[in-house]
Amino acid sequence: MSDADRPPLSVERDGPVVTLANLDAPRNRMSLAFMDALEATLPELARDPSVRAIVITAEGQENFSVGMDLKQLPQGVQKMGSLEAVFDQRLRVLDGIERMEKPVIATLFGYCLGGGLELPLACHFRLAAEEGAKIGLPEMDLGSVPAWGGTARLTRCVGRDQALDMILRAKKISGPEALRIGLVHEVWPLSELKDRAQALARELAAQPPRAVAGVLRCVVGAGERSLAEALAEERRAVMATMGSKDQQEGMRAFLEKRRPVFTGE
């Protein structure tokens, strides 16, 4: 199969876990075709109640993504009508990931630069390689500014001081350093990273989906609401679970001192 005929994205299902992988190794650029495929696939996963966790990764073990394929910018502008429309699509895709009511996990290894960090920042969990990761927003070196929400999401993730240090100095940090500043949740040897992401996805998929969706709505949107609004959203999430079969199963399992088995009902 020629590169022109090769799909930009693979979608693999293992029970309730779906894994999406960029198929542009070794660089795994975030091409126009890759973003189109993500935009088409994510709503389908959001609607499918049997999908309960998602892993976003990339082919091979060299790089998660070097970011946008800058050579495609003129093509993108021609296709979508303007540079803003190209960026708007990417913002829509990342917003769809962040607002997904199912946990989304990203694996960071090798180069995770520009869009290759901004996409993981939209995910709910980030796992990084212990060795070899180079994570950053290097747009300053290109005379520009992160364009896919990187300034806002990085600041919310690691705080103003760390975000300024990374962005203004165009720093590329390691997996252990990303863990130290709170950018990633876990660090694993590269050889174990993807397996660990799958294990975490299975763990999260076993949780009651109605409650998971409620927590994601509460936590992801918390920064946009007043305390009163956030508490009201939390109350709505709580009441949506009350009386459900999963909630009853959780109570029974607690009283019977066993692990609950949630079915999504």
Residues catalogued as catalytic: 118, 139
Instruction: Judge whether 174 and 134 are in contact, CB under 8 Å.
Output: yes
Q: Is 192 helix (H, G, I), strand (E, B) or coil?
A: helix
Vertex 232 angle, CA 230 and 233, to 5°: 65
Vertex 224 angle, CA 165 and 87, to 5°: 65
Whether a cis peptide bond, with omega within 30° of 0, leads into 103 is: no
| Sequence-distant (≥ 6) Cβ neighbours of residue 29 within 8 angstroms | 22, 65, 66, 67, 68, 69
Instruction: Judge whether 133 and 178 are in contact, CB under 8 Å.
Output: yes
DSSP E strands in the chain: the ranges are 9-14, 17-22, 53-58, 104-108, 111-113, 125-129, 134-136, 186-188
How far the first Cα of the chain sits from its last, in Å, is 43
Q: In degrees rounded to 5, what are phi and psi of residue 14?
A: -135, 90
Tokens of 175: 């997996």
Of 96, 117, 97, residue with least CA distance to 107: 117
| Sequence-distant (≥ 6) Cβ neighbours of residue 111 within 8 angstroms | 27, 63, 64, 65, 66, 67, 134
